[in-house]
Amino acid sequence: MIFRRLGAAAAAAAALAFASPAFAVTEIQWWHAMTGANNDVIVKLANDFNVAQSDYKVIPTYKGGYADTMNAGIAAFRAGNAPHIMQVFEVGTATMMAATGAVKPVYKLMADAGEKFDPSVYLPAITGYYSTSKGEMLSFPFNSSSTVMWVNLDALKKANIAEIPKTWPQVFDDAKKLKAAGYATCGFSGSWVTWVNLEQLSAWHNVPLASKANGLDGFDTVLEFNGPLQVKHLENLVELQKDKTYDYAGRTNTGEGRFTSGECPIYLTSSAFFGNVKAQAKFNFTAAPMPYYPDVKGAPQNSIIGGASLWVMGGKSAEEYKGVAKFLTFLSDTDRQIWIHKASGYLPITKAAYAKAKEEGFYKDQPYLETPLLELTNKEPTANSRGLRLGNMVQLRDMWSEEIEQALAGKKTAKQALDAAVERGNQMLRQFEKTAVR
């Protein structure tokens, strides 16, 4: 990596030497939250860009986890030295969007910089999350994933289950069979309890999570996830928790080891879990689409994304913005997107990249890597499945998790818990609305 960096520096220095004397390289700061192999992806992208041209230099900096990176960016902005590009996880979208003036919307950036930019080349299921309801792209999707159902195929065989369950009732039945076949402590489970069981569940069944297209059309949104479908689903989980057919695995992804260790044979979590599964699972596995309730008309709809996008911060010079715009164009390149897709396991963001990866036969040996894409593009997104944008999302999720935990522990009924989650969440949304810049 040091050599690569030196190479880039040498290239930049050489470029400088040949350029006119008054010329200077414009530096572009890129703050991100990627570690391990994904950090290498980021470093390589920046270096490739720096070598490819001589006017701009992208400098990537690791700033900790998603929340840390965002807090660091916000603190830097308050201190007057924000980076040019900041990687923000999907739940931070509303906070970033509410900060008019602190961020420069991508569609505007591209227009101002005179870069060729056509929003229709991107996968709408991915860009929809980061666009206004008018289709204006606010941030640039970088790493996207979705919820899939990871299945331990050896376990299914052991329990004499012929095919992978497609619907929730099938999952419940199969989990009972699995439990009888020796998976006594956990028939099925999942991470990110609210993402899987409220947010994705609602989108997948085309029912609203909140009014105003789940908040995409305005901050005066009201939560609506205490409807019959969500209540029924939580009631099912509560019932199954009693004998551990379902076993709650925590609010975040700390329980994911229960799948790879073989304890939970069916596990719903992000498609980005792939790297760990591949490295640790000592059994045959696959990633199937999320289950659905067959009695819901039109289900399944399409899933929504997780992951992060790149936000361009406000208050920079036109020259700097030109460089940022060029960098985003550079990232949109089809071959580059395919490379990112293969190197990181995250989804390609353009239609062309997806088509080309398919053509190349990338999904032939590993069909399950296409599962999240098939889910996202299953149907044309509706107001209920385009995405969601709620202020203080990190805290909202904790609040909803608290209520779900109360229901699973038997302290509240499913209906009481979801009603309370909606009511408390609405209070928080009103609080957020008060502080959002108008």
Nearer to another protein, 249 or 353 (CB): 249
Rounded to an integer, what distance in angstroms lies between the CA atom of residue 344 and that of residue 92?
22
Q: By CB under 8 A, is residue 276 in contact with another protein?
A: no
Tell me which of 88, 213, 305, 408 binds another protein, using CB under 8 A. 408
From 43, 48, 86, select the one nearest 64 (Cα to Cα): 86
Q: 161-167: which pairs have CB atoms within 8 A and are 24 or more residues apart?
A: 164/286, 164/288, 165/266, 165/288, 165/291, 166/288, 166/289, 166/291, 166/292, 167/291, 167/292, 167/293, 167/294
From 294, 423, 344, 288, select the one nearest 142 (Cα to Cα): 344
Q: Which is it for strands 85-89 and 305-313: parallel, antiparallel or unpaired? A: antiparallel
Instruction: Report, in angstroms and rounded to the nearest whole number, the Rg of the chain calculated over CA atoms.
Output: 22
Tell me which of 132, 334, 395, 416 binds another protein, using CB under 8 A. 395
Q: By CB under 8 A, is residue 250 in contact with another protein?
A: yes
Q: By CB under 8 A, is residue 236 in contact with another protein?
A: no
Q: By CB under 8 A, is residue 98 in contact with another protein?
A: yes
To the nearest whole angstrom, how small is the minimum distance from the Cβ of residue 196 to another protein?
A: 15
Number of C-beta neighbours around residue 277 at 10 A? 20
From 220, 214, 221, select the one nearest 199 (Cα to Cα): 214
**CA 195 to centroid of chain Cα atoms:** 10
Q: By CB under 8 A, is residue 405 in contact with another protein?
A: yes
Length reported for the chain:
438
Q: By CB under 8 A, is residue 95 in contact with another protein?
A: yes
Q: By CB under 8 A, is residue 246 in contact with another protein?
A: no
Q: By CB under 8 A, is residue 211 in contact with another protein?
A: no
Nearer to another protein, 77 or 204 (CB): 77
To the nearest whole angstrom, how small is the minimum distance from the Cβ of residue 394 to another protein?
A: 5
To the nearest whole angstrom, how small is the minimum distance from the Cβ of residue 304 to another protein?
A: 21
Establish how many alpha carbons lie within 13 A of residue 75's alpha carbon, considering only the half-sphere containing its beta carbon: 8
Tell me which of 132, 167, 252, 413 binds another protein, using CB under 8 A. 252
Q: By CB under 8 A, is residue 121 in contact with another protein?
A: no
Nearer to another protein, 57 or 397 (CB): 397
Q: By CB under 8 A, is residue 411 in contact with another protein?
A: yes
Token duo for residue 24: 């200077």
From 399, 397, 391, select the one nearest 432 (Cα to Cα): 391
Q: By CB under 8 A, is residue 78 in contact with another protein?
A: yes
Tell me which of 25, 281, 352, 436 binds another protein, using CB under 8 A. 436
Tell me which of 90, 174, 199, 263 binds another protein, using CB under 8 A. 263
Q: By CB under 8 A, is residue 431 in contact with another protein?
A: yes
Contact code string over 185-204 relative to another protein, x by CB under 8 A: xx------------------
Nearer to another protein, 35 or 254 (CB): 254
Rounded to an integer, what distance in angstroms lies between the CA atom of residue 218 and that of residue 155?
46
Rounded to an integer, what distance in angstroms lies between the CA atom of residue 122 and that of residue 109?
17
Binding site for another protein (CB under 8 A): 67, 71, 74, 77-78, 95, 98-102, 185-186, 241, 247-252, 254-255, 257-258, 263, 392, 394-395, 398, 401-403, 405-406, 408-409, 411, 428, 431, 434-437
